[in-house]
Chain A
Amino acid sequence: MSDQAVTTYLDETLLPYFFCPGCGHGMITDHLNAALVKLQLDPHKVVIVTDIGCSGLADKYFTTNAFHGLHGRSVTYATGIKLANPELKVIVLMGDGGCGIGGHHLINAARRNIGVTVIVFNNFNYGMTGGEHSVTTPLGGFTTSTPFGQLEYPMDICQTVAVNGASFVARTTSFDKGLSDLLGEAIRNDGFSLVDIWELCTAYYVPNNRYSKSMLEHTLTSLNFSTGVIHQATRAEYSRAYRQSVADEAGKAAVAFRPILPKYRSDLDRRVGIIIAGAAGKKINSAATLFCRGAILSGLWATQRNDYPVTVKSGHSVSEIILAPKEIGFSGITKPEVMLLLFKEGSLTVHSQLAAMNEEDTLIINNDILPDQTTAKLIPIDFNQTGRWASKKEYWTIIALSKLLSEIQIYPLEAFKEAVGERSEFAEDNLAAIEAGEKLR
């Protein structure tokens, strides 16, 4: 930026404005320009983000950066820009229509106190599509889509963002002589600012309602909507608060490769499919992962495919594990070599796989579950006889997997012990559970 003062932020070759005669949009645009001139911001560091609607025509006149986006979404682009580059001054120009379709984004931008300034060109209807009603159309107001009068109560945009965490909120009209000062104050605010500017739509709302400046002022008073600076708060601006909150993470190793180095030996020479049929919340998946780690510690390859309903603590939880001496392709199991049937929730979902098993296969089964007709070799476990583990169902999978490794040569039990000992606050209990499984008769 040169040292010379900027005298205008408008591209005067494009003037006069394209707005309808008498429309308030031109007045607001002039005041915004005046505010920018007062603030003397570097145009390279200003981004004017506009929404859809007549207000969305305003960005083209500015010599700053501009982003003209989809209807109602302007606040989201502005948030992305500010989050990515906190140095920028990001100003959103949107209509009352945008506040309706994008109300959710307004609320959340206020909650974050993200440093963008929203200027609402509020003329009570959709000027660009033909004068339909908006969220701010006054009660009884006639629009092309409320020919019998508006029945919906007008949204208080200011209070909506004020109660949800905005740090600067003001309301005024386009006739306000001090509007540029007010806009300057809003832009200077570090956090989320919103200025709701009431104005006349001379194409639709004025002729359809014989509306005027004095009626606009009357609407304000009849609704008891106050004007001027309505709300101010001191809160951390989001893009900076985010950076502060993650500052300690900087430089830590990201997405590190965490190798599992083989220390044990497995003589497994074929692919083995193991299904653990359990219940959600019983650590089926995490036990299966530890079991897979033990396999890799023994030089094997492993895959683990999990199946569960959307609920976390209820319903079935099934892990399908494949172990093999070489890389595994298809990770599904149509006929398992081993099944651990531990909880009845899981047993309901593995019927076809259980039916496919034959006398060469092994079924480790919780004594309390009656198996379907099966020819598989049965290894029952009576968890009631496991002492302190009888009530600790979240360790039953570890116990059963330990039993499996004790019964069938897959990989050394020591490798499983090492895998469970490597991580988590449950290591001690997991190790004890493996030992309990080892001792089972």
Chain B
Amino acid sequence: MRELINGAQAIVRGAIHSGCNFFAGYPITPATDILLYMIRELPKVGGIAIQAEDEIASMGFCIGAAMTGKRVMTATSGPGISLYSENIGLAIMGEVPMVIVDVQRMGPATGGATSVAQGDIQFLRWGTSGGYPVIVLSPTSVAECYSLTCKAFDLAELFRIPVFLATDKETALTISTVDAEMFEKVPVRERQIASAQADFVPYRATAPDEVPVFSPYGGAHILRFTTSTHDEHGQLTKSPEKVRKLNERLAAKVETHLDEIAMVKTDMQPGAETLIISYGVTTKSVEEAITAARERGRQVSSLTIHSLWPVPEKEIKSALSGVRKVIVPELNLGQYSLEVERLATNGIEVVGIHRVDGELISPEEILEQGGLK
């Protein structure tokens, strides 16, 4: 059974199937479709969806709602992520589980509202003060818009952190034929709620990478939330020991759990000395290029990265083994290739293929510029 659907609809379906029950957003091309679908669909499942007065308020509403126990999502594009920035930091600090969709368009600034790009890939990782980690997933197809949205909600619950879905104008708005079986069901865990009987301390962690147990506003326990550096009670502190513990834990809870986050797909050809690493919309071109190259007798492997941040270093290093040349096609001037470059030691040549003109990188361009003709 097939249907005709775009990525935005698949994201909304994924969100609702994941139990999302609160959405706030502000209109911005090319993410508006998600806002409009959410406003129509969420009330059907008893959820709340609202257009806020701006992107800052969208994040504020979501964060407030998340702390009452709602499963929240917002969606925007690059200029909106700029405005989300301060609250991304707050969500990291207060350990707010939430999903943020970035439907990337061409930058900088207002850039090209209706043009595709992958220019936010480093920005999403480093887009707020302090440099603390977030999780970024990137779907390569409409079907993955569904499954990775579900995964994003699951990881948000597991780590109490903002999880980004980095998609783009083409993936979100190109209408595609999708078979029902292609929508991969991803289980989303329930939020762990402190029992009414237990002692509850809002930010207590017994291990250096532990995620504190949650209790919602209006629940059995009193909850203190703060944007400031705090002790386990959620009270402001400057105690170096407590501050260090908190800050190291905010990083460790993600970075020491890479195995629970890393998602890649490999298509390795034994003996191939060329590897193509891609993510998001560019992957479709890579797949076609690989097929064409192999038909011509070329040996080439590919690695698709679904979890961009934290960088799945183990998986990338493993794919790089035995490789002499790695090709990284991206709709930017070379962003994720920076991560590949730092991992591609032993003289591996890193070749970036870039487009920043609002057009897609075609399979033909990958074959040509990658020396696979």
Q: Taking beta carbons and an 8 Å cutoff, which residues of A are in contact with B?
A: 43-45, 47, 49, 59-60, 63-70, 73, 75-85, 87-88, 104-105, 107-108, 242, 246, 249-255, 257-262, 289, 292-293, 296, 300-310, 327-332, 334
CB distance from B168 to the nearest CB of A (A): 12
| Residue contact A66 to B224, C-beta cutoff 8 Å | yes
| Residue contact A83 to B48, C-beta cutoff 8 Å | yes
| Residue contact A73 to B87, C-beta cutoff 8 Å | yes
- A sample of 17 more A-B contacts (CB under 8 A), given A84-B22, A250-B44, is A47-B218, A65-B224, A73-B60, A77-B60, A80-B66, A83-B65, A104-B54, A108-B52, A108-B57, A254-B42, A261-B1, A329-B284, A329-B285, A330-B360, A330-B363, A331-B176, A334-B362
Q: Could you tell me the distance between the alpha carbons of A76 and B222 in the complex, rounded to whole angstroms?
A: 21
| Residue contact B64 to A257, C-beta cutoff 8 Å | no
| Residue contact B57 to A85, C-beta cutoff 8 Å | no
CB distance from B125 to the nearest CB of A (A): 21
| Residue contact B227 to A328, C-beta cutoff 8 Å | no
Interface class of chain A by DSSP:
mixed
| Residue contact B87 to A104, C-beta cutoff 8 Å | no
Could you name 21 residue pairs across A and B whose Cβ atoms are closer than 8 Å? A44-B220, A47-B217, A67-B226, A69-B90, A69-B225, A73-B86, A76-B56, A80-B24, A80-B63, A84-B65, A85-B216, A105-B56, A105-B60, A255-B37, A259-B1, A260-B2, A292-B4, A296-B4, A302-B177, A303-B175, A331-B284
Q: Could you tell me the distance between the alpha carbons of A257 and B1 in the complex, rounded to whole angstroms?
A: 9
CB distance from B236 to the nearest CB of A (A): 7
CB distance from B128 to the nearest CB of A (A): 11
For the side of the interface on B, what is the size category?
35 or more
Question: What is the 8 Å Cβ interface bit string for chain B, positions 171-186, against chain A (1 contact, 0 not)?
Answer: 0011111011000000
Contacts of A83 in B (CB 8 A): 22, 48, 50, 61, 64-65
Q: Could you tell me the distance between the alpha carbons of A289 and B226 in the complex, rounded to whole angstroms?
A: 48
CB distance from A113 to the nearest CB of B (A): 14
Closest B residue to A68 by beta carbon equals: B226
| Residue contact B44 to A251, C-beta cutoff 8 Å | yes
Q: Could you tell me the distance between the alpha carbons of A331 and B116 in the complex, rounded to whole angstroms?
A: 13
Q: Report B221-249 residues with CB < 8 Å from chain A CB.
A: 221-228, 234-236
Most chain B CB neighbours (cut-off 10 Å) among A293, A328, A332:
A332
Contacts of A300 in B (CB 8 A): 177
Asked if A296 meets B177 with Cβ closer than 8 Å, knowing A88-B218, A331-B170, the reply is yes
Out of B9, B69, B179, B223, which one reaches A255, CB within 8 Å? Answer: B9
Contacts of B174 in A (CB 8 A): 303-306, 331
Asked if A242 meets B50 with Cβ closer than 8 Å, knowing A81-B68, A259-B1, the reply is yes
Question: What is the 8 Å Cβ interface bit string for chain B, positions 2-27, against chain A (1 contact, 0 not)?
Answer: 11100001001100110000101000
Asked if A254 meets B16 with Cβ closer than 8 Å, knowing A66-B234, A76-B56, the reply is yes
Closest B residue to A285 by beta carbon equals: B175
| Residue contact B64 to A78, C-beta cutoff 8 Å | yes
| Residue contact B170 to A70, C-beta cutoff 8 Å | no
Asked if A255 meets B17 with Cβ closer than 8 Å, knowing A68-B226, A249-B43, A328-B176, the reply is yes
Is residue B287 contacting chain A, with contact meaning CB distance below 8 A?
yes
| Residue contact B2 to A68, C-beta cutoff 8 Å | no
Contacts of A82 in B (CB 8 A): 64
Contacts of A70 in B (CB 8 A): 86-87, 90, 227
CB distance from A282 to the nearest CB of B (A): 17
Is residue B364 contacting chain A, with contact meaning CB distance below 8 A?
yes
CB distance from B214 to the nearest CB of A (A): 13
